[in-house]
Amino acid sequence: MTDSVLRVEDLGVSYGASEAVRKLDFDIKRGEFVAILGPSGCGKSSMLNVISGLNAPSRGRVWVEGAKLFTAASKAPRLGYVFQSHRLLPWRTVRQNLEIALAASSVPKAEWEAKIDEILGILHIRQFKDAWPMRLSGGQRQRVSIARALVVDPSYILMDEPLSTLDEVTARSLRQELTGIVQRTGVTVIFVTHSIREAVFLADRILILSRGPARLHEDFTVPLSRPRNYDDPRISEIEGQIIAGVQAPWGLGGQRDVA
């Protein structure tokens, strides 16, 4: 498979006696937007730590662009990460924050300036290039955080509930833009969320995990064309189907953790 960006086989993570991830297999292709849904405490963060290259799994294999991770010779994957909070360095300007990430990437220095301008332009924050992060609003900071993830030419971008701390109006506009950004840049995105509606709106595919220790409950392809409308009744319909489907695997009161 040449266009596979991230492949996970028979992944298991345990800490001593407690098991966080039981068995996960999936394959994510170039340019795909994949959402990951699961109840809290299902082992998502353990899985994220593995696919971001931070922790080796207890069992199983992981390939990034065909190269196997966690072997003696392998390098850590080149990825972008958008966290729940922005995690920018508040004592560096927007441009400097991007440059610090670029310096550790393989992007040649001659291209930095053009790349920073281009990506800040896509995110509509070019006017804040020399601003301190503390002077920006929450939504603007999260845009900078997305810009930092894009600018390093990543194999894929991990987004861990990036919109959950924003107010709904800001989250909505950013969510809308995110689909455009992904189309323009062709970047591969793995998007963790608690919101089923958000997942249905954004993703090509949704990996639904079981209650912890995590197993893959369903690999769901979203049957909607783009562009999509967040208020489309078909999104509500699919959302309802997914909720009905996870009642059992997520335990009693399947409404739990569904924002």
Partner 1 sequence: MSRDIAMTPPLHLRVPPRLVAALVAFISMLAIWHVMSLNFRPWVPGISSTLLAIEAQLGSAAFWSNFLLTLGRVLSAFVAATLAGSAIGLFIGLNKRVEVFFQPLLALALAVPDPVYIIFAILALGTGEAAGFVALTIAVAPFVANIVRSNVQARDHDLDQMAQIYHLPRHVRLWAVLAPQLVPALLTAMRFSFALSWKLVVVVEAIGQPDGIGAQIFNSFRLLRMRDVAAVAIIFIIAMQLMERGVLGRLEKRLLHWRN
**Residue 110: CB minimum distance to partner 1, A:** 20
Judge whether 187 and 154 are in contact, CB under 8 Å.
Answer: yes
Give the Cα separation of 14 and 221 in Å (integer). Answer: 29
Of residues 79, 146, 182, 214, which one binds partner 1 by CB under 8 A? 79
Q: Would you give the binding string for partner 1 spanning residues 190-229, x where CB under 8 A is met? A: ----------------------------------------
Q: Where are any strands of DSSP class E within the chain?
A: 4-15, 18-29, 33-37, 59-64, 67-68, 79-82, 156-160, 189-193, 205-209, 214-221
116 binds partner 1 (CB under 8 A): no
- CA nearest 98: which of 253, 45, 3, 107? 107
Give the Cα separation of 175 and 171 in Å (integer). Answer: 6
91 binds partner 1 (CB under 8 A): yes
Which of the ranges 22-30, 84-92, 163-171, 190-198 carries the binding residues for partner 1, by CB under 8 A?
A: 84-92
Nearer to partner 1, 152 or 189 (CB): 152
Nearer to partner 1, 96 or 176 (CB): 96
Place of tokens 């298991």: 12
**Residue 184: CB minimum distance to partner 1, A:** 23
Binding to partner 1, residues 44-73 (CB under 8 A): 52-54
